[in-house]
């Protein structure tokens, strides 16, 4: 299959201002040199604790945030090179579904108006046509046309997320960046929304970047999974390989903390010491070295290279350095 998205050496640094005159006194390396690709029709799960840079990564793909450095090749075009106007048109192809469906829907607009908006922005001029598309979209996400005249507060959390998904689908995107789309929902509702996303993927050949803070959530929906820590990619592999034989000590620790029923390796719970360090003052060397149960010689001083340690299985860890 073709590659739809190829991200290389992507960085996002935010300046920190301080002092009397608001001078820049430092920077937060929210995303620090990550690379990955997503094939057409595939789901890549992107996992990590809050502040690891996964949402920042997702937002850069739509250029809702401007990358500090790196390339984002989508369908053969480097998005970082597009003008604002070209990028506005490109948003037809890449859409986002947000964590909090309530905050992302205008409370004063009816569902019909919410779903018509992207159609208007992307040039569907006929009112008739838009109404027809709204009906179609509501049906596609399991709602009905009589919902069209209602307001967001009249819906449950799960229904609101369906509306958020319908809005993302309105202009027939190829890639959907879903940023923790089920984290705010009850567990019983989560499965329904995940199933819907999977059905839509099959029906429309969609490609997903699925962001989550928990390895359990992305297990079934992802073809491959990437694990981030403090702005860096720690491990990336086929789902099965990642869950059954993780290579990176951080992934091992995350997996040991999440009960995932059909993961074969049964490990003891690995309790990490300390908290995630501040991204404004990240550790030298391997970003995980202060908490890593397997920390050794050069972990504190040398950043490990993110490299292929088995076919299709990538990790950034000195455990996989060539023996001298
Ligand atoms: Fe642990 Fe060292 Fe590997 Fe980092 S590089 S994960 S500190 S063993
Ligand atoms: Mg987030």
- The CATH number of whichever domain residue 37 belongs to comes to 3.40.50.300
212 alpha carbon to ligand 2 midpoint, in Å? 8
* 30 in any annotated domain: yes
Q: For 42-51, how does the pLDDT look when each residue is reduced to its tens digit (9 = 90+)? A: 999 999 998 8
Q: For 211-222, how does the pLDDT look when each residue is reduced to its tens digit (9 = 90+)? A: 999 899 899 899
Can you tell me the distance from the alpha carbon of 27 to that of 30, in angstroms, rounded to the nearest whole number? Answer: 9
293 Cα nearest atom in ligand 1 = 1
CB atoms within 10 A of CB 152: 21
- Indicate whether residue 317 lines ligand 1 (CB < 6 A): yes
What secondary structure, in 3-state letters, does 230-258 show? Answer: CCEEEEEEEHHHHHHCCCCHHHHHHHHHC
Please determine, for residue 30, whether its predicted confidence score (pLDDT) is greater than 70: yes
- Indicate whether residue 303 lines ligand 1 (CB < 6 A): no
* 196 in any annotated domain: yes
Question: Which of the two residues, 120 and 104, has the higher pLDDT score?
Answer: 120
Give the residue numbers spanning the domain of 192: 3-93+173-320
CA-proximal residue: ligand 1, atom 3 (nearest): 317
178 alpha carbon to ligand 2 midpoint, in Å? 11
* 146 in any annotated domain: no
Q: Which ligand is nearest to the CA of 50?
A: 2
324 confidence band (pLDDT: 50, 70, 90):
very low
Q: Which of 45, 70, 17, 111 is nearest to 254 (CA)?
A: 45
- Indicate whether residue 270 lines ligand 1 (CB < 6 A): no
Can you tell me the distance from the alpha carbon of 292 to that of 63, in angstroms, rounded to the nearest whole number? Answer: 34
- Indicate whether residue 234 lines ligand 1 (CB < 6 A): no
- Residue 264 has a pLDDT of 60
20 alpha carbon to ligand 2 midpoint, in Å? 31
111 and 152 in contact (C-beta within 8 Å)? yes
Q: How many domains does the chain have?
A: 1
* 101 in any annotated domain: no
5 confidence band (pLDDT: 50, 70, 90):
very high
- Residue 117's SS3 state is helix
- Residue 42 has a pLDDT of 97
315 alpha carbon to ligand 1 midpoint, in Å? 10
Can you tell me the distance from the alpha carbon of 123 to that of 139, in angstroms, rounded to the nearest whole number? Answer: 22
34 confidence band (pLDDT: 50, 70, 90):
very high
Query: Model ipTM?
Result: 0.96
* 166 in any annotated domain: no
CA-proximal residue: ligand 1, atom 7 (nearest): 289
- Residue 167 has a pLDDT of 96
235 confidence band (pLDDT: 50, 70, 90):
very high
- Residue 96's SS3 state is strand
Q: For 246-262, how does the pLDDT look when each residue is reduced to its tens digit (9 = 90+)? A: 999 999 999 988 776 66
- Indicate whether residue 242 lines ligand 1 (CB < 6 A): no
101 and 185 in contact (C-beta within 8 Å)? no
Q: Which of 288, 248, 245, 289 is nearest to 267 (CA)?
A: 245
- Indicate whether residue 292 lines ligand 1 (CB < 6 A): yes
Which element (helix H / strand E) includes 139?
Answer: helix 127-140
Strands (E) across the chain are located at 3-18, 23-39, 43-47, 69-74, 77-78, 94-97, 175-179, 207-212, 224-229, 232-238, 306-310, 313-316
Can you tell me the distance from the alpha carbon of 84 to that of 94, in angstroms, rounded to the nearest whole number? Answer: 15
* 63 in any annotated domain: yes
- Residue 199's SS3 state is helix
- Residue 261 has a pLDDT of 66
- Indicate whether residue 319 lines ligand 1 (CB < 6 A): yes
* 272 in any annotated domain: yes
* 126 in any annotated domain: no
> Structure pTM?
0.94
Of 250, 299, 303, the residue with max ligand 1 atoms within 8 A of its CB, to mutate for a pocket test, comes to 299
Helix residue spans in 64-186 (DSSP H) = 84-90, 111-121, 127-140, 157-169
Provide the edge-to-edge strand list for the sheet that holds 43-47.
Answer: 94-97, 175-179, 207-212, 43-47, 224-229, 232-238, 313-316, 306-310
Average pLDDT, the chain: 93
């Amino acid at each position: 299959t073709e590659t739809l998205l190829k991200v290389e050496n992507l960085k996002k640094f935010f300046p920190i201002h301080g002092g009397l005159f608001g001078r820049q006194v430092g920077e937060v390396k929210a995303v620090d040199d990550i690379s990955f690709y997503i094939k057409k029709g595939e789901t890549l799960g992107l996992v990590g604790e809050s502040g690891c840079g996964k949402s920042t990564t997702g937002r850069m793909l739509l250029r809702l945030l401007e990358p500090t450095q790196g390339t984002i090749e989508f369908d053969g075009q480097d998005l970082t090179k597009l003008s604002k106007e070209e990028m506005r048109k490109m948003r037809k192809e890449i859409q986002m579904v947000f964590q909090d469906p309530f905050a992302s829907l205008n409370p004063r607009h009816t569902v019909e108006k919410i779903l018509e908006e992207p159609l208007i922005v992307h040039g569907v001029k006929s009112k008739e046509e838009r109404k027809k598309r709204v009906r179609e979209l509501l049906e596609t996400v399991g709602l009905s046309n009589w919902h069209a005249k209602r307001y967001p507060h009249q819906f449950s959390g799960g229904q609101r997320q369906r509306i958020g998904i319908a809005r993302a689908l309105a202009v027939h995107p190829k890639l959907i960046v879903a940023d923790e789309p089920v984290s705010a929902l009850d567990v019983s509702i989560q499965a329904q929304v995940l199933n819907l996303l999977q059905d839509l993927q099959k029906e429309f050949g969609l490609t997903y970047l699925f962001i989550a803070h928990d390895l359990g959530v992305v297990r079934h929906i992802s073809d491959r999974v990437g694990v981030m820590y403090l702005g860096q990619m720690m491990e990336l592999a086929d789902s099965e390989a990642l869950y059954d034989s993780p290579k990176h000590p951080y992934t091992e620790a995350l997996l040991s903390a999440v009960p995932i029923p059909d993961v074969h390796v049964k490990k003891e719970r690995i309790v990490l010491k300390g908290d995630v360090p501040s991204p404004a003052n990240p550790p030298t060397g391997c970003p995980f070295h202060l908490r890593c149960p397997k920390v050794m010689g050069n972990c504190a001083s040398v950043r490990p290279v993110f490299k292929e340690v088995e076919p299709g299985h990538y990790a950034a860890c000195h455990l996989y350095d060539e023996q001298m």
